[in-house]
């Protein structure tokens, strides 16, 4: 299929931490999505922004590398440019949304990826990229 997906940090947390809730099996949806991506030969775009957010949540560099290692063949690692960061900063300020959410949206768009998130802030970014929940894809 050759699709690209950009998973928001919260989706990675659902996956890594198996975060299921009583009425919403977020961890299961994330696992099923990643399994489907692997089976279809699709790719996942991972940015340094995601890794930095995980570090901010007390994951070590070692932990992060170990978490992503099994998926190294399907991961496309990307870095934001000054231009992308500047655009995200402008959007964040104008729309009153978190800077990193704006940057995730720009990176997903620029790398031709489907944005996967549960975050409602992305509803403010529909002109940049449309987002989907994992269960809408699987």
CA atoms within 13 A on the CB side of 84: 20
Indicate the pTM of the whole model: 0.94
Residue 107 CA to its chain's centroid (Å)? 10
Enumerate long-range contacts of 121-127, CB under 8 Å, 24 or more apart: 121/97, 124/95, 124/97, 125/91, 125/95, 125/97, 125/101
CATH code at position 72: 3.40.50.1010
Domain count of the fold of the chain: 1
**Could you tell me the sign of the dihedral formed by the alpha carbons of 50, 51, 52, 53, in that order?**
positive
pLDDT in tens, the chain (138 residues): 689 999 999 999 999 999 998 899 999 999 999 999 999 999 999 999 999 999 999 999 999 999 999 999 999 999 999 999 999 999 999 999 999 999 999 999 999 999 999 999 899 999 999 999 999 999
Sheet holding 131-132, edge to edge: 75-78, 43-47, 4-7, 114-116, 131-132
CA distances from 104 to 20, 62, 125 (A): 24, 23, 10
Residue-range definition of the domain harbouring residue 61 = 4-137
């Amino acid at each position: 299929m050759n699709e690209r997906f950009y998973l928001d940090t919260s989706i990675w947390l659902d996956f890594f931490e198996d975060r299921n809730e009583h009425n919403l099996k977020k961890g299961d949806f994330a696992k099923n999505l990643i399994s489907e991506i692997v089976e279809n030969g699709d790719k996942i775009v991972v940015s340094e922004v995601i890794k930095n957010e995980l570090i901010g949540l007390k994951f070590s560099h070692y932990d992060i590398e170990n978490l992503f290692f099994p998926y190294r063949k399907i991961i496309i690692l990307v870095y934001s440019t000054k231009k992308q960061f500047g655009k995200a900063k402008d959007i964040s300020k104008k729309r009153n949304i978190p800077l990193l959410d704006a940057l995730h949206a720009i990176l997903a768009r620029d790398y031709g990826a489907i944005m996967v998130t549960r975050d409602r802030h992305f509803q403010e970014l529909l002109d940049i990229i449309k987002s989907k929940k994992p269960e809408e894809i699987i």
